[in-house]
Structure 1
Amino acid sequence: MDTGSIAWLITATALVLFMTPGVAFFYGGLVKAKSVISMMMMSFGALGLISVLWILYGYNMSVAGSPTAFSGNPFSDFGLGQLATSVGGNVGLLSATYGATFAIITVALISGAVADRAKFGSWMIFAGVWATLVYFPVAAWVWGGGWILNLGDSMGLSGVIDYAGGTAVHINAGAAALALALVLGKRIGFQKGITKPHNVPLVLLGAAILWFGWFGFNAGAEWITGLANVGLIVVNTLGATAAAILAWMLVEKFKDGKATSVGAASGAVAGLVAITPACANLEPGWALLLGAVAGAVCALAVELKFKLGFDDSLDVVGIHLVGGIIGTLYLGLFAIDTGFFTGGGNFGQLAVQAIAAFSVLVYSFVIAYLLGLAIEKTIGFRIRNEDELAGIDTSVHGETGYALERV
């Protein structure tokens, strides 16, 4: 690999790693002031734990080797010692590190569904086991030679398109988030308007960091192709996100009479989620339409938790699950050369996209629900009601986010 591609891979890895603190800021600003430490620690805990597990065996599991394999052998190169000493190991280790950043942020995203009420130790157990049973194998299915990557060939159709993680990251995390929200139940006094973001500037800072890092998230893998499609990916990442902001604010204006800054930040994330699988396979005009659709639909979808009665605290389901599904299925209609409207009226692309999306959704939901339920019934996953009312930061971490003293 040339030095320019190596430099870009290192840069992209750092950008995507920075996204997890961005999630921490985004989520941290959305919760109550007495929950901000707990919320941010769930992201930083995932950063530490998943990094270690990925190096030990997660990377091995993410390479399936064949379409029939559930995952790679976790013990094939335990701790990456063989890769480190192999010919080409320098590039291999960089690629492995880049993959780790995706695993980290996928787990961190789930935490928003259980804000204000989850034990930190239980969350860490869930994070490690879920990553092992769900994320690492799904990454192998989608990118590591597994059945999703080869689904089109097995059906005589076009291959599944998921350039940067509509299925493996966003649908995967969103389905797990829904499962945990159901297991842990509603916060005390759950109803529309009961809690408001305690720090809106923190939310906007987090969204800005996410958008910044997402250029590495979407365009990072272009080192493989010598940056052949990087221009298309970059312009689509900008355009879809911008369109989603406008669409979300427009829905807010018509629905509630005011466009909010939190809505603009949420719209940005919804657009980023939707363009993730599609960034390299849409013309820019269709990417703008995708962003607009995702922004509008996700703005409406976040209200479903009040109608259906599940407490997804920070709208992981409404943004990541719904946005991931939209972006993944949209390719079946408008992907360059293979979409129904852009490739001669063939539904084949839509068929394989739908199979991949809903297979990951069901698998992630079932495993996350069973795992969360097992933790809740044994050591407990949800904190006590009195601790929730007193403030989870103090009861779980012995800290407060804002230590204000009179002088």
Structure 2
Amino acid sequence: MPVDGASLSQSQSAGSKAGDAGEPAAVLHAPELSVVLPTFNERDNLPVLIERLDVALAGIAWEAIVVDDNSPDGTTETARQLANRDPRIRVIRRVGRRGLSGACIEGMLASSADYVAVMDADLQHDETLLPKMLEKLAGDGTAGNPGADLAVASRHVDGGAVGDGLSAMRASGSGLANRLARIFLHVDLSDPMSGFFMIRRTQVERLAPQLSSQGFKILLDIVASAKGSLRIVELPFVFRERLHGQSKLDTLVALDFLGLILSKLVGDLVSVRFLMFMMVGASGVVVHMVALFSLIEGFAMNFQVAQTAATFVAMTTNFYLNNRLTYRDRRLHGWAALRGLLTFYVVCGFGVIANVGVASLIYQEDAGRILIGVAGAAGAVMGAVWNYAASSVLTWRKA
């Protein structure tokens, strides 16, 4: 197709400006590799990581996709400043939604490269492993060596180590989670809890509809959803100590992990968030009973007063746990949390009405124990579903 002089001149001018700005030659070609960096409060770590990626991926056409969950420390602004100087950097700012898995999924689906890597932006993952992972996926192009579908950086194969990056408690918790994943989900990986991996983008596109946007263990979700269809290779790496900032993972992540396992065990028929809500509700029963007996035995309250007080104690703890874990991507703070607590009380009050109403419809005066049990269970399920649906809309509604 012929090119007119003006277009050619503009193209040459743009190329000249790119060269004057010192842009890397790799940006003149479509990236072969996209490195997805989910971030939250990583302002100080991000520039260091980009410099390290530039060194580690020399000679490779790469891009970095920073997916920031609207960090209050200015991570998005820092990422955009980096992108202004280096067009290999792309920025996605997420507002009104949070969560590591969701950020990783959005970043991977935003890529057009053949291969996509996911790694933390806190400098605990070894970026020098990326070329080796890419080599394992690319193969040599022959039928005998088509390359792997997924390369996982593992802390638990020969040559890998947890190092100083995890506390003793988090290290033991990670080991337990690994064992549970292998037992219940039949995930044949030495380190299914790793957050450092590389995958073919075509596989991401295939599996994306089955992945949960809640939670933190995106690799486990990918492998469990693939059900043995991926060619996987593991490479050793040493988990490094964080340079700046604090870890966003806490002990409540254990419940999040259990929710993911349960969701996969039931074939993704129930969302991870709903299962988390149910687990929190189950813990509320324990809290209720402890409060009830404590008020009766310790403060000599009559049953009706103690029952009412215990109900509010259980609802309050349920609200706190759901706000911390189930809806951590919509977490309420300050006055918003107080308003949320009040609406949660109202929602749960109507939940009790729904519970009793459904149970009463099924229950009969001359019912046997089985029908009584069915009536009670149906009422409990109705109340739980109402509480979940209504609180999602009224208490933790999306911004």
Q: Which has the higher contact order (CA 8 A, sep 6+)?
A: 1
Q: Which has the higher strand share?
A: 2
Q: Which has the higher helix share?
A: 1
TM-score (norm 2): 0.27
Higher-Rg member (1/2): 2
